[in-house]
Amino acid sequence: MVFPQLKIGHMVPKVPIMQGGMGVGISLSKLSSAVANAGGIGIISGTGISVEELRSHIRIARKMINGNGYIGVNVLFAMNDFAEKMKTALEEKVDFIISGAGISRDMYSWGKQAGIPVISIVSSAKLAKISERLGAAAVVVEGFEAGGHLGTDKPLFDILPEIVDSVSIPVIAAGGIMTGEDIAKAISMGASGVQMGTRFVASEECDAPLSFKEKYVQATAEDTLLVKTTVGLHGRAIANKFTELITTSDKLRIKKCRDCLKNCSYRFCTLDSLLTSVAGDVENGLVFAGARVSEIKEILPVQKIIDNLTAEYKAASNQRLA
């Protein structure tokens, strides 16, 4: 075996790579099942889709998986439909639930009752310890380099060691993981595996439209920026007409309020802007991406991405031993 064995609850994937849950409409049944079939762990994002759409994607993904692949659902605590989406995923007996943007005591007890592992996304040792105490099966540590909403201004490899030392459950490194060498570094620092979002967007199986994927491939190192969204957090996105508008104008008007958040600034509708970009208009909606998106040069099949990461990891590990 090239990689060390990752084990979370009943899950023992062939490669210790979890695909990030990306909304809206970026990681659904097609991407998650492809990652599962390639030996990783796939995630369906429950953000911005209806309960019935979520249920449908879980069932479709399960039919598309060959053998014993694993898929879970990402449900964000900050969303109004958090409890409903979580219960739907549990009813459908997904392999795990993963959640960020806050912590709910209920989700751990619901997961325990259903016999389904719950994983928390954290950005500090304090949150990791709380998650473990409440019953988390693992934690995903997300550093500043991640795409989308950010919970810290500290780089991944600065916060990873402290979090690894603070808990006894598996720690998954996320945010800026792009190559097999990055995976080797994370594992050498005590991580049990990694979570990757940005690299899987530029895959043939990703559920996003081609225009969205091409925005990733065309991005330069200067094209990513931080924007303050209505969630109250900064998010990393690729520069376009919409990011220019929300960073320079104080006279924005909400075109449509989706009433999706428990707490919202109502300056614009974050969900509606994400739906705009996933509908194909990548200039007038938000296109979230990680800090290293400019390193992606082509759209590849998921299996090829996993194969490349495996070869890179092996080379990096051999070099460390030399």
**Coil, strand or helix: which one is 322?**
coil
What would the pLDDT profile of 208-259 be if each residue is shown by its tens digit? 999 999 999 999 999 999 988 766 678 899 999 999 988 886 656 656 655 5
For the chain, which domains are there?
17-208+295-321 (3.20.20.70), 219-293 (no CATH)
Residue ranges of the chain whose pLDDT lies below 50: none
Task: Write down the pLDDT at residue 101.
Answer: 63
DSSP codes joined into one string, 212-236: HHHHHHH--TTSEEEEE-TTSSEEE
First to last CA, the chain: 19
The C-alpha atoms of residue 47 and residue 271 are separated, in whole angstroms, by: 9
Task: Write down the pLDDT at residue 266.
Answer: 53
Six token digits for residue 115: 């016999």
Task: Write down the pLDDT at residue 195.
Answer: 98
Q: For Cα atoms 206, 306, 208, give the angle at the middle one, nearest 5 degrees.
A: 10
Q: For Cα atoms 10, 21, 57, give the angle at the middle one, nearest 5 degrees.
A: 80
Residue 110 CB contacts under 8 Å (≥ 6 apart), including other chains: 86, 87, 90, 118
